Amino acid sequence: MPDTSLPGNASYPPIGDAALSRLFSATYSEGRQKFLKACRNNDFAVSSHHHPSLKGPAGEDLAMDAAWFGPDTASRVIVFSCGTHGLEAAPGAATILQWLETGGPNHLPDDMAVLLIHAINPYGWAWAHRINEDGIDLNRNFADWNKALPENTAYKDIHRLLMDASMDEAGLNRFVQGFHELAAQKGMNTALTSITSGQYDFPDGLSFGGDALSWSGEVLFQIARDHLSQAEKIAHIDWHTGIGDYGRAHFILDEPKTSESYAVLSGWWPDHTIHCDDVVEGVSIFYNGILLEGLRKEIRSLNSAQIVNVTIEWGTYAVEQMVQALVMDNWLMQRAGNSPSAQIDAVRSELIERFYPKSPDWRRAILQASGPIYDQAIKGLNSWN
């Protein structure tokens, strides 16, 4: 069982049930309406990038919304984004709404602007998938598409387990068991690399990076060109869920501990550990096609800005349960087919719970922990020389 004790923060006020229902959303559509309303109330300029062909379950538009506040010529820009992994969006979006509601934009330093990017993967959020409309893990989609794609020969063993996995408890446990057997035979590094580092050969598999830059990737680069070509210093937090201790923030940097980014981020958040390559069970893994790395490269092709960006996860359940959740997401998109609707609904609701717990205590904990994280990011960017 995961440790479900939660951190408190004495310096921020307790969060009541009304705030929870105001800030957290049950659907993409609800989340988007709340975001657009909060942007209007705070005088943000919003540009909406609609998906060219797809709609949500109620026929609603799917869009990635970019919202800007502050001088157009600001030399420092802070970026907060959510929804790279579709259904992980709601908690990050709630922290953004809380920051808006508590007057965050009014306390920005001079010469700093904020860019909010809402629902990087709107299809995934709307249809309760972590992956996108093409079964792509967007955090493996930012490969260098002009070069030969990275190989992940060990993935085929995982794919065999995936094809055998059924959605009952025994079937999901069998997948985890198979994974552990693989780790025992070939080492934990190989096993974790095969399942999580990204693969480009099995479009219906796990950690599939795609065969071209996705619609979300194109739009994200467009937003960078529109808003970040003049900035001199950029800091970016991309909110996720599913890694780390229950209800706690888990910072992940895709650069080594020897990097300048590591030194900068450790200085901004001395009360948090910045995890570099020790994300799971202390094992070092090289990931392919990471979104923040791709975005850094794109921004650097526009200007000579200094950029630090970091993924912050809100921990939910134990690693094995999260591995099963990846299998459930894959099954729902690729294999559910004509399965009974009651079964599909049950798997979907369990998948959502694993990335977006219903517990009010979990939701309160992340709101309480996020307030200081926003403050520290802005203070850090302002004093970054």
> Distances from the Cα of 274 to the Cαs of 220, 235, 255, 262, 279, in angstroms?
25, 15, 10, 7, 10
- Closest-approach residue to Zn ion (CB): 240
Contacts of 13 (CB under 8 A, 6+ apart): none
* 240 is an interface residue for Zn ion by CB under 5 A: yes
At 370, which amino acid appears?
S
- How many CB atoms are located within 10 Å of the residue 17 CB? 10
Tokens of 24: 């957290």
String of contacts with Zn ion for each residue 32-71, x by CB under 5 A: ----------------------------------------
The nearest distance, CB 325 to Zn ion, in angstroms, is 11
Number of continuous H segments (helices) and E segments (strands) in the chain: 13, 8
The smaller minimum CB distance to Zn ion, of residues 39 and 87, is found at 87
Dist CA 251 CA 82 (whole Å): 15
Of 51-59, 80-88, 141-149, 375-383, the segment contacting Zn ion by CB under 5 A is 80-88
Residue in this structure with the two tokens 């970016």, named with its chain if needed:
236
String of contacts with Zn ion for each residue 84-113, x by CB under 5 A: -x--x-------------------------
The nearest distance, CB 287 to Zn ion, in angstroms, is 12
Dist CA 129 CA 121 (whole Å): 9
The nearest distance, CB 137 to Zn ion, in angstroms, is 9
* 250 is an interface residue for Zn ion by CB under 5 A: no
Pairing of strands 249-252, 306-314: antiparallel
Closest Cα to residue 91, out of 375, 359, 276, 297? Answer: 359
The smaller minimum CB distance to Zn ion, of residues 32 and 240, is found at 240
Of 39-47, 67-75, 235-243, 282-290, the segment contacting Zn ion by CB under 5 A is 235-243
* 354 is an interface residue for Zn ion by CB under 5 A: no
The smaller minimum CB distance to Zn ion, of residues 24 and 68, is found at 24
The smaller minimum CB distance to Zn ion, of residues 42 and 84, is found at 84
Dist CA 7 CA 254 (whole Å): 26
Q: At what angle do helices 169-186 and 319-334 cross, to 10 degrees?
A: 120
The nearest distance, CB 140 to Zn ion, in angstroms, is 11
The nearest distance, CB 313 to Zn ion, in angstroms, is 7
Of 13-21, 233-241, 256-264, 373-381, the segment contacting Zn ion by CB under 5 A is 233-241
Given a contact cutoff of 8 angstroms between Cβ atoms, the answer to whether 121 and 136 are in contact is: no
Residue in this structure with the two tokens 């390559």, named with its chain if needed:
277
Dist CA 103 CA 16 (whole Å): 18
The smaller minimum CB distance to Zn ion, of residues 88 and 255, is found at 88
The nearest distance, CB 84 to Zn ion, in angstroms, is 6
The nearest distance, CB 88 to Zn ion, in angstroms, is 5
The nearest distance, CB 237 to Zn ion, in angstroms, is 13
> If binding means CB under 5 A, how many residues of this protein chain bind Zn ion?
3
Residues that bind Zn ion (CB under 5 A): 85, 88, 240
